[in-house]
Structure 1
Amino acid sequence: MKRKAKRWLAKVKAFLASSPREKAEQYHSIKKILKKLKEQQNQLKEKLAEEANLKRREALEEELEIIKKQRHKALDELKLLKKSN
């Protein structure tokens, strides 16, 4: 799951150096990425609520924190894109 998120963030970074048409396409791509990350975040929250094992809970909390940071970065990139237009 971490690799997928890194790949998605790489797409976001590539977004800034492209033409207006490509930026529009990438904007929609970023929105899809944000939606997927939100879904992953919600799934992890559900798993965390059900998990009783302390070690597994800690691992889930770490993964959840990573996804939160990735979403935040993607949102920042999206805001930059809106400002540049």
Structure 2
Amino acid sequence: MSDAREAMIESLTEEYIRAGPAREMYGRLGELTVTSHSEDGMVTVTVGPRGQVRNIELDPRVYRKSSPSELSHSIKGEA
């Protein structure tokens, strides 16, 4: 193998190794979720890394306490 090819392969290998932690971190970011609770604790929403809703939990008491529109506002985080 020529010296130029060996140098290129070595350079690419070093670059690949240096990029390893960034690839790992990017992969872990894809697993990130955030959970938030309403002020009264009646609504819990979990979202994924791209903002997609993964889970919504409603305390059974919320149906007696809130109208449908109030519940909607609570889930969306509106005052």
- TM-score, normalization: structure 2? 0.32
Which of these two proteins has the greater Rg computed from alpha carbons? Answer: 2
Tell me: higher relative CO, structure 1 or 2? Use CA pairs within 8 A at least 6 residues apart: 1
Greater share of strand residues, 1 or 2? 2
- TM-score, normalization: structure 1? 0.30
Greater share of helix residues, 1 or 2? 1
